[in-house]
Structure 1
């Protein structure tokens, strides 16, 4: 399976243990991929930022930030991971495996970052950037400067400000699950409209965006 994955990402590892570590989820026990995930987040961010900076010379900082956010968000990472069947190569503990962890967006996104870090450690930034851009080629080609929607929290904030309304308040109402598969539930409350949106996510930031999206949908229906 590792050899097939190497073919799909376009990189043959000089040190196969790096890829092995990248594919080990925390639920498997020791030598898991969280440290690689930490590094991969930065490698991915730099590769994408540099590419967008060169690709869109007239874009403002805000536009570049939104373009980058679209590429490095969990949903996009999971889509890219699924395109190379990364889930089939993951090593998961019994609990994570039984609960569908091999196709869970958060696990796939983290594993993809770990794989990118493994390539970086194996061959340096130049090669890891080439691998990253190859993996994200479709997502990058779909980007259009000036047409990227702002995230739901920003859209909601601006809509309320335009109407002279107090900004929404966000509150975590519950958390559940094991440390490696935590789920947050967040409430987005707009007192002036007696409206509450609820969202779930693998971290607070993601749950807030989902809650804001639901609140925005409800607000626009009124």
Structure 2
């Protein structure tokens, strides 16, 4: 069932079994068949390469910093857990009794780690190209939505409230650059709150770029305890 959702049938089923096994399960099992922790390590690297390639090819006009910023949004724990839920990954995990009773199947940290482990198992079973094809076949649309609306939160609205409360003013947004062909544009939006606080956001639409800029500035304000 899970392989059908993933769109790939493993030639070595033990690889997938290990990728779906949490250490709490092996701790209680009579025989140690291994868990997904080392696969998670490998999966993190495979995921970085797949997403790096995807972003490099989709946004050729973006610089290194901009691409890194987009990738960091995609590999966050919340983002990966959301992808895992899309294919009901939690339903197929092998968990120990304690982890099961504490709601482990819905924990973001556990789901994100398991997704990376599954990707590593797929890579070991079929190679990078097939792993990339399967991953993007499952998640390309979700990735596009994530880039268009980071974490699904209204960062512009949150920043407006913060600006009024802390500085007595609201942020302004200005589109400073558009790049790429009409069907695949990248927008750069400058956000200004005060002379000391401004930044530029990027995204596949003006709205997404504005959200990205607002997210950046909110993070900066938090760092400054504002």
TM-score with structure 1 setting the length: 0.67
Stretches of structure 1 that go unaligned for 5 or more consecutive residues are 161-166, 169-189, 191-218
- 1:155: which partner in 2? 217
Larger CA deviation: 10-19 vs 141-150: 141-150
* Unaligned stretches of 5+ residues in structure 2: 27-31, 149-185, 187-201, 203-208
- Does residue 19 of the first structure (1) align with residue 16 of the second (2)? yes
Aligned partners of 2:20, 2:52: CA distance in 1, in Å?
25
Residue 136 of structure 2 corresponds to 133
> Deviation digits for residues 186-218 of structure 1, max 9, x if unmatched?
xxxx3xxxxxxxxxxxxxxxxxxxxxxxxxxxx
Once residues 133 and 58 of structure 1 are traced to their aligned partners in structure 2, the CA distance between those partners, rounded to angstroms, is 21
1:93–1:158 Cα change, 3 Å: closer
8 Å CA contact 1:22–1:115 kept in 2: the answer is yes
Distance 1:80 1:151, change over 3 A: farther
Query: CA RMSD, aligned part only?
Result: 1.9
Cα deviation, residue 26, structure 1: 1.3
Residue in structure 2 matched with residue 9 of structure 1 by the alignment: 6
Q: For 1:150 and 1:41, how far apart are their aligned partners in 2?
A: 26
SS at match of 1:133: helix
Q: CA deviation at 1:150?
A: 5.4
Secondary structure at the residue paired with 1:136?
Answer: helix
Give the Cα separation in 2 of the matches to 1:60 and 1:157.
Answer: 21
1:141 CA drift (Å): 2.2
The Cα shift of 1:88 comes to 0.6
- State yes or no: 1:111 paired with 2:114: yes
| Match in the other structure for 1:90 | 93
Q: Which residue of 2 aligns with 1:77?
A: 80
- The 5 A counterparts of 1:25-64 are 25-29=22-26, 30=32, 31-64=34-67
Aligned-residue offset at 1:28: 1.2
Compute the TM-score of the two structures, normalised by the length of structure 2: 0.66
Does the 8 Å contact 1:44/1:132 carry over to 2? no
Q: Say how many residue pairs are matched.
A: 160
Q: Which structure has the larger Rg?
A: 2
